Structure 1
């Protein structure tokens, strides 16, 4: 890449705001020219953890202090997140993991389960459905997270099953102080829980009350599940690896697998407004195993970024890098923001046309210089409102009928086009995913007044003193996704909603195929050596926010001889919705851009003059990033976490 000019971003004040999801009372930011941050970038040499919840971060750190490595710590944190962020993930969800063992190659560990054998387009359309419901048993893929965590522990960890599960088990049994968004989420689905999903109400509406902020929240059925799992695994063998293998069998074919399959067969209310049974069976559970695969990579300006393959949205990050010109506009300038927005639209259009778990996703061409030079030429001075997938290798792109309709401004069912309005059904979400329900009048801004709640997901990164790095984005199996399985204390997931009910597409609902996921952790290398792990929750926004973070790290001044992770996380962020969303009801907002107010009025007005439909959000409302890094020459470790939402924390020494 050629010359890059470093310019300022309109800060709009140096104290994080109190409104919306912004952090409160975190003190004055530090100033280093154009760089501001809410906290220092942590540095040390022993171990570093960053995650979306402080209890998960500290639990992972406790594992490191007890002699465990980064992989042990990641597994412990992953299970804690299922307990302390139950509105964001659960045991029956999914997780892609990028791991970089010291001295070994970067690998992807895929914990995204496929569609069950009975999950065909014909079956769903025979029920009168045009989209996979956003909730309920029909939306459940084969759960993948548990097996992925077990493989990571077996192959790369050192601790026993009981040692890594004890933190999650303790918080489930004895309780943890609930973050306020758990209660807000429960309130949005109160009526559903009380009338339909009563097993969920038993845990999350005890005595008719949603969890109060800071109130002790317990999940004793989940604690009992983990206790029984550990006991049966230890009874099966005295060896560490054999116990982990026993736990995998119990999940698939033992008491856990039996309970999951039985509950999936029971009809439950979903977003279609009807009760449906799922397609998941015991045979589907028994046949699944998490898998290792090589990452997809792209080289940019001395960096190599590694992502999961075309079954995820990860390559969209790499495509956005490949679309950048040799000379970038000044960092943070209106021209810079416009360039990134328009490049994202092109990458996401290709995601819609070409990504999925089909046999061939043409990533070599999609990331190639010639292809991206031609695509780059489509970026003009004004905002595009079109969905413009490319034609790699001369092949004509094919979009789903629904995506074509929403791209035209319709609702996907023949509704009228309204310039600048949301296409898609009226109930929608900005993250992972939208769930129907009735919201009280005094709920927080993340709750839609029409009764939709914006879910999300989780993220964690770990670096240890031996040079191991791991990045994981666990999600799915939210408390609002499916009814809680009473015998287990957690629900099934809803990832099948990301597949299309139309044959012949890369992301068509197909038995045995993974639905294309939005989950997309990241690893970055310098000179072939892994140096940084990072990621964020946020559904379709993940690889927008991550790109902005990565460029802020790569283009801005360093601190204390290391990468300025915290400054890059804190930098004003934004996202656009000019492509079909991945979650029910798969809407689109042509031309829309949402920015944090700190980006500055001059930039906002300049974007509007270019035709962008700009919504100015709260000062601290875009992004949920986590990051850790390691300097391979000195061994110095660094970490930072998102201050937005008052929940993410980095720890280390």
Structure 2
């Protein structure tokens, strides 16, 4: 019998879980913060659909997890409608028109930093929410935004992780970022955990957007367009334009942004078909090669090709050989990410999932850990890696000290206890059969200074571009940076649907591999699959500045057991034992084939929750 979290209630036969698998017939919301989950559920109870609930929950996340995302951030969103149609809504803002490789080189910059004005792109999250509201929403913006406005105006109890982040950033705020200090250092110092944190400027901004929506009349689509225009063409854009023209200290120097109001006015959220892969009897949907999403599809395909995705392998505790195989599949998929992913990729997801290519890649997995970076040749194209990636893999990167040489606020995002992981995530299913998975991120409080009068910061996703021409992820004006954000939806051949995802930067499409295999193949309940110990590789350079690599390194929750840790060490992995409950932030909400709604959320960090009935 597996005793994960002994002392908690028994939720699945013969398996102890930290929480029960929620089941019901009406609707479910799961997210990385309980206030967002309950806000979304309130919208479902008021008659809103999953899209309305996702907007309400997402706006609350922008307020209550300011160290992990913001109203000025970025977001991909996956949706599955009751009519069985699916789509990706892209809320990833583009590079400014003036942001060229030559312009950065003229400033003496050859790797875009992770904080400050130089890394700014168009804020995309709000545009994505308004696209969703205009195309599929049913309730007026005022009803959806009222929870976020209330928490911004009246305050919300500050999370311990947010308090730690503010404390870390306090010297920079006090000396260089006075607009951030005015909100986050109220009283002159970092607030204590549990303190009511208020952001009246953010409340004012949301109320202005709601007022613009209401002025457009009662039609929901017209309201959404009016609010979008107020953000991207009105007073919000004007204030962003004025602030971006000012010099800001980023930990190394003072720089203006390339971002202008014209960049905001010319950008809109877009919609596209999802990338698809298979896992047994399920189709897995992900954003395309401008995201990290296909990394999950490649790993699952490689594991199936190598015989490592059987029910026997994933029904119980993970054995060392299976974990080794999963880690090696991760390295191969991430190597392909470095060579082939980006706005200008010459290959397709179908190419990367081709049968012949998968056989070639799976044949590279041996009994010992590989310490090289091995992208494949795809569709007649030879792989090419950025110079920084090649140097980082040999320990000769631009920042030889790795994360120790990072500027304040760098990482995804920087939380002292786990500097390489976290963002936000939410999942919703409703009574009609609609499902949403969204991963809001960026614009966090440590990314860049708060914009005067707006209460939020700019996104810094441009740090994921290479300042080297000719690569799929090379910087080009108007291009989307290759984001790590990666929500997912699994659609069963039996008609079941599961929305899922996690924060975690480069770890997002690693932590979800054992989760999906345990749940969809091994037959474990969603909560048990989330609770089970997990791991991730740090072999490939991080997507976040300073883009350090730790070749061969793998970090595992110590609950995997000494036998697994010792076996992996013996195979040549550079094993790092993490705390028992340290890795993974997964949540999920789904609809079973029999129509029952279900949801589960991550217990790690003690803030994610699922609600429903």
TM-score by length of 1: 0.90
Does 2:414 match 1:412? no
Does 2:41 match 1:15? no
CA gap 1:424/1:234 in 2 versus in 1, 3 angstroms: closer
CA gap 1:651/1:31 in 2 versus in 1, 3 angstroms: closer
Q: Alignment partner for residue 169 of structure 2, among 167, 181, 189?
A: 189
8 Å Cα contact 2:68-2:413 kept in structure 1: no
Match of 1:506 in 2: 472
Structure 1: 5+ residue stretches without partners: 1-7, 17-25, 416-421, 436-443, 448-452, 559-563
The Cα offsets for residues 258-303 of structure 1, whole Å up to 9 and x where unpaired, read as: 01111111111114x0011101111100000000100110122111
Match of 1:318 in 2: 297
Q: Alignment partner for residue 476 of structure 1, among 442, 449, 467?
A: 442
The Cα offsets for residues 6-28 of structure 1, whole Å up to 9 and x where unpaired, read as: xx9xx6x6437xxxxxxxxx736
Indicate the SS of the match to 2:572. coil
Does 2:427 match 1:461? yes
Q: Distance in 2 between the 1:555 and 1:519 partners?
A: 24
* Alignment RMSD: 1.9
Does 2:183 match 1:203? yes
* 1:112-511 → structure 2 map (5 Å cutoff): 112-271=92-251, 273-324=252-303, 325=305, 327-328=307-308, 330-331=313-314, 332-358=318-344, 360-412=346-398, 426-427=405-406, 432-433=411-412, 446=417, 456-511=422-477
CA gap 1:94/1:445 in 2 versus in 1, 3 angstroms: closer
Indicate the SS of the match to 1:644. coil
Number of residue pairs the alignment of both structures matches: 606
CA gap 1:428/1:38 in 2 versus in 1, 3 angstroms: farther
Q: Alignment partner for residue 596 of structure 2, among 636, 644, 649?
A: 636
Does 2:8 match 1:27? yes
Q: CA deviation at 1:31?
A: 7.0
Does 2:542 match 1:571? no
Q: CA deviation at 1:245?
A: 0.8
* 1:463-612 → structure 2 map (5 Å cutoff): 463-527=429-493, 529=495, 531-558=497-524, 564-612=525-573
CA gap 1:360/1:530 in 2 versus in 1, 3 angstroms: farther
8 Å Cα contact 1:573-1:596 kept in structure 2: yes
Indicate the SS of the match to 2:563. helix
Indicate the SS of the match to 2:237. helix
Q: CA deviation at 1:427?
A: 3.0
Q: Alignment partner for residue 19 of structure 2, among 29, 39, 43?
A: 39
Q: CA deviation at 1:30?
A: 5.7
CA gap 1:588/1:429 in 2 versus in 1, 3 angstroms: farther
CA gap 1:108/1:434 in 2 versus in 1, 3 angstroms: closer
Q: Distance in 1 between the 2:495 and 2:11 partners?
A: 31
Match of 2:578 in 1: 617
Structure 2: 5+ residue stretches without partners: none
8 Å Cα contact 2:410-2:545 kept in structure 1: no
Indicate the SS of the match to 2:190. coil
8 Å Cα contact 1:102-1:468 kept in structure 2: yes
Indicate the SS of the match to 2:405. coil
Q: CA deviation at 1:475?
A: 0.3
Q: CA deviation at 1:241?
A: 1.8
Q: Distance in 2 between the 1:597 and 1:153 partners?
A: 43
Q: Which moved more, 1:204-213 or 1:526-535?
A: 526-535
CA gap 1:101/1:364 in 2 versus in 1, 3 angstroms: same
CA gap 1:304/1:192 in 2 versus in 1, 3 angstroms: same
